[in-house]
Structure 1
């Protein structure tokens, strides 16, 4: 096997120009939305806090994450070919898995930041000092890299002796395992173990942090204080549910050929739609971000 063919949306060729236009607009929205968040968190003095530092890193991660899959998908829709070499496919999968793992850990770090801010506000400047913030971000970026490189290597060490057509729009583990020959039980077990490690464990940490956060918020004497505390967490909770919900169903459900169309739809959620919604969720539900954007646009129009 020297190359694969990404089928993508080849089953609906009559819509390929429409799909190209839609996904191109989505990609531009992701670049623009996340780029604006990165910019305003750097130039606005009121956003120089750990919370917005993590948000800017998260926005940068989203740009990298979506750029691994979406430009290639746009090219495949445009050319209607979908051919991809084994090396390119392995490279795409490896970077996708590393960035997805980073996103899982970074979402947990952001939940920890909110936990410290709400449950230990007096110690917050000391606990979340700049050095600690940088260390947490670096740990999120590098912690999963060796594991995912090894995972990619063992997937592409399998013999692919049947069809070379991948019924997906990028090189992902579940559709590739369906093309492998021989006994792949060990590989499937590794996928489940890594899914538990990178999805379930960070999610349980996030759940634990928010259980403590909600408990502390409900103890606040004023409704205004409760509302303000909930508003700082609600955006992050929405992003977590969107990302973890769709990713967990894809990687933790039993292997089946019956729901391939649903698998592709779920993959669209955690690879494309979630990165598009993130800037909207954080800007529309966050008063400080809205204010910073208005201030930035006002300065831009005055030039």
Structure 2
């Protein structure tokens, strides 16, 4: 058992050493592969964080809406990994946007996580015309609160999630800080290339949620063929495709074996032709969630 444990520790150290980082527009560094916690409950969530950090992950993604911030905080403390080595992301939920509401929501998230600061704080979904009388002002007020929290040292980087170009352009009219990150649905079959191009023009890093299309990628002949060619799994091919687009990815799993597989992406590379093949796959696995019509789906 000691020998197996030593191998696991060495592998974790290797992944940590090999991990690519994205330098954000505020000069903060973020690992290109992180660990997602969506739907991880209390005890499962604590253990998942412990296992993920032991495996070499150093970017942890949660949100107030996931109802697991306490578990994430407990897992971080129990892991033994120094806090300064971990990049923690959480998000303000779309139903509590606004200046005062965001300040309150942030303090609640900070308390649940049991941390002194948040590395990356995101607006989970933009306000829209169906849910806010003046959605532009609501997003602007939310952002102003986040800018102040960042200036106070309570947040290292601030960003958004599920923002389209129209939301980013409206925000830019009043923002003093350009969002560091836009976390969007990004996977084979739905990867929003026009939005990615706009974000890059603005210096905004892109982060992928649902990189495996809610399991929709499995059974796809093109992906299986590419995976067989490289001796990798379909999941690894999809995650490698994401990071070769210079997009941050946050796969989730409660299985240590899957965690290790998901972070083992640096010993193979997809060719330009393979990237093109995946880029051109027809729509699959799309969540149907759109920022302009929440909470309904298409």
**TM-score class, shorter:** under 0.3
The structure whose Rg is larger is 1
More strand by percentage: 2
Normalising by structure 1, we get a TM-score of 0.25
- Compare the two structures and name the one with the higher helix fraction: 1
Larger relative contact order, structure 1 or 2 (CA cutoff 8 Å, min sep 6):
1
> TM-score if structure 2 supplies the norm length?
0.25
